[in-house]
Homo-oligomer: A and B are copies of this chain.
Amino acid sequence: MPRPPRRTPVNRSRFAILGALTIAPMSGYDLRRFFEENLAFLWSESYGQIYPILRDLKAEGLVEEAPPEAGAGRRREYRITPAGRTALADWIAAPVTFVPGRIEILLKLFFARQAAPGTAEAHIAAFRAEHRERLARYAAVEERLRTELAAFPDNVYWRMTLAYGRLGSEAMLAWCDEAERLLRDAR
């Protein structure tokens, strides 16, 4: 007798894809780029996930394939179905699952006494550079949201996610300062 499944599967990638398809019909290739270009710091999907999930979603009737257009090569475009919209809405409404963090820089810093002096300082410096760069990118997106994307019905939700990134990175810069101060005081 096969063992029963342990718990309801999580499947966040399916809903990421379904969500992306509410913006516009897309191919697997488009989806990859959509996440890469618009959601880089908040979500990512790889081909190894996208294509099999698209196949499953189609089999379940949550997406449908657009009829192939002439001269579009091998391109296969998918759009979300009403059933897909319902499934997505249900998932969005369900409580957010708490994922225990695995933040590599903190693990390294927690044990940094084991490494050569200056190691913690170097990681903090790289971290500061990373978040400064992100802030610059967020500012560019914020500008687009205020202008060309101002009329999009999702605009307010996109601003919210952007604000998360901005406030998060600003806090990380403040943390870099505090961490360096702690290190200096300890010497």
Contact = CB atoms under 8 A, between A and B. Distances in A.
A60 to B, nearest CB: 18
Interface residues of A, number: 69
> What number of copies of this chain does the assembly contain?
2
Interface in A87-130: 88-89, 91-93, 95-116, 119-120, 123, 126-127, 130
Contacts of A171: 167-168, 170-171
A113 to B, nearest CB: 5
A182 B103 CA distance: 29
Interface of A: 12, 15-16, 19, 22, 39-44, 85, 88-89, 91-93, 95-116, 119-120, 123, 126-127, 130, 153-161, 163-164, 167-168, 170-172, 174-175, 178-179, 182-183, 185-186
Given A19-B107, A44-B102, A92-B119, 6 more contacts: A22-B114, A42-B106, A92-B108, A92-B111, A96-B108, A163-B182
